[in-house]
């Protein structure tokens, strides 16, 4: 089975490198929603014996998703801090417990895919340039904490993705709770 059947070409999967606190609302929510697709794709890739080459470096476009197939630990942490930031912004996301159990199982069954990663300054630059281009294409669409975003929001931001709050780190170890503001 071709992996493209699981992820049609018209379905983008965004994985950013910068801190979730620096993402605009739409980019933050889209990444949070799309990132879990990679867990299933990586699992299928491993089970199928397909050994398409994993790119050596972070990229956008062709190879972007495949780059993360063996970096599931990083993706799990990334998703946890995206969740934490969405909750901090007042989004209602429901329970995270089912996904947490799936990730524990995935880590136990596919340890070869459970690796970390640290984005380089070049990775951040590529990511920020793409985000800024998207913002400039639709300047009236994007918001920052539900307020209209500055048209140059991403310019000059060289934040590392791991700038997180203590609450984000705790999310990995505690059961998620439904938030009802």
Cα dihedral across residues 167, 171, 174, 177: positive or negative: positive
Can you give the pLDDT at residue 162?
38
Average pLDDT over residues 104-131: 92
Can you give the pLDDT at residue 151?
86
Q: pLDDT tens digits, residue range 120-129?
A: 888 988 999 9
Q: Can you tell me the distance from the alpha carbon of 60 to that of 16, in angstroms, rounded to the nearest whole number?
A: 10
Can you give the pLDDT at residue 159?
45
Check if 34 is active-site.
Answer: yes
Mean pLDDT of the chain: 82
Q: pLDDT tens digits, residue range 31-69?
A: 999 999 999 999 999 999 877 889 999 999 999 999 999
Can you give the pLDDT at residue 157?
67
> Which of 11-15, 70-74, 148-152 has the least mean pLDDT?
11-15
Q: pLDDT tens digits, residue range 59-100?
A: 999 999 999 999 999 999 999 999 999 999 999 988 778 888
CB environment 145-161: b (16+ within 10 A), e (fewer): eeeebeeebbeeeeeeb
- How many C-beta atoms lie closer than 10 Å to residue 84's C-beta? 23
Average pLDDT over residues 141-146: 92
Can you give the pLDDT at residue 72?
97
* Catalytic one of 9, 13, 143, 170: 13
Domains of the chain: 3-156 (1.10.440.10)
Q: Which residue has the higher pLDDT, 6 or 155?
A: 155
Average pLDDT over residues 10-28: 88
> Which of 1-15, 85-99, 166-180 has the least mean pLDDT?
166-180
* Catalytic one of 34, 50, 143, 165: 34
Helix (H/G/I), strand (E/B), else coil: 148: strand
């Amino acid at each position: 089975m071709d992996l493209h059947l699981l992820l049609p070409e018209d379905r983008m999967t965004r994985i950013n490198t910068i801190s979730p606190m620096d993402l605009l609302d739409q980019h933050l929510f889209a990444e949070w929603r799309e990132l879990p697709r990679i867990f299933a794709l990586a699992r299928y890739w491993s089970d199928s014996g397909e050994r398409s080459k994993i790119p050596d470096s972070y990229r956008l476009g062709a190879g972007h998703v495949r780059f993360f197939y063996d970096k599931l630990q990083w993706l799990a942490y990334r998703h946890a801090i995206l969740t934490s930031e969405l909750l901090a912004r007042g989004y209602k996301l429901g329970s995270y417990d089912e996904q947490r159990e799936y990730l524990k199982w995935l880590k136990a069954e596919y340890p070869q895919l459970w690796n970390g990663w640290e984005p380089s300054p070049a990775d951040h630059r590529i990511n920020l340039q793409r985000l800024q281009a998207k913002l400039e294409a639709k300047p009236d669409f994007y918001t920052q904490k539900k307020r209209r975003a500055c048209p140059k929001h991403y310019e000059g931001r060289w934040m590392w993705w791991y700038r997180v709050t203590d609450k984000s780190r705790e999310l990995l170890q505690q059961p998620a709770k439904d938030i009802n503001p």
